[in-house]
Amino acid sequence: MSAAEVAAALAGVAGQSSQSYGLWCVDVPAAAWQHTVQAARDDHGLSYLDWLSGVDELADGFSIVAHVVDPDTVLHVLLRTRVPRDEPRLPSVASVHSGASWHERETAEMYGVTFDGHPDPAPLLLPEEFEGHPLRKDFVLASRVVKAWPGMKEPGESDATASRGRRRIRAPGVPEPAEWGFEARGG
């Protein structure tokens, strides 16, 4: 069976398969996620879970992506599903692939996606008290707010002579101090 046929079989009726950069991808609804991963392992020999991660799709929610491989034939497909942004929940596939456990813990802390039925849902890399989900696109890097942007100065200006009143150019992706950080929280 070719990767295209495996992808089509895995997509079934609810999902769809497509080729992207030479790799066959299977998009399934979140309800069919666990079943698809299980079917890939049991029915198609894709028994090696290479990795599992997420993608922040902004208003479209989060994609959860898993790359599964047949270790004998090196046939591989990408399994994808989508969870809504306001309630990112997905059944855990740690019961199918034990190796998915750490990947799901990392995806959970980085994107704020809850994996239902995970055996040990503690954060993997971040400290317990960490606030926010660093790989979400709306997450602001603290170091970008703490440090002054060197590009804020206009030609002909230096730190000493910079005028305060004018509206200044802002670094892309960094919010105003009043919108984020200690000032915004009234600290």
**Pick 124 or 174: Cβ nearer another protein:** 174
**Pick 102 or 149: Cβ nearer another protein:** 149
Min dist. Cβ of residue 174 to another protein (A)? 10
Distances (CA, A) of 28 to 83, 118, 166: 11, 20, 51
**Pick 5 or 157: Cβ nearer another protein:** 157
**Pick 76 or 153: Cβ nearer another protein:** 153
Min dist. Cβ of residue 171 to another protein (A)? 8
Site residues for another protein, 140-179, by CB under 8 A, read 144, 147, 149-151, 153-159, 161, 169, 171
Min dist. Cβ of residue 168 to another protein (A)? 12
Min dist. Cβ of residue 157 to another protein (A)? 7
- # chain residues binding another protein, by CB under 8 A: 15
Residues that bind another protein (CB under 8 A): 144, 147, 149-151, 153-159, 161, 169, 171
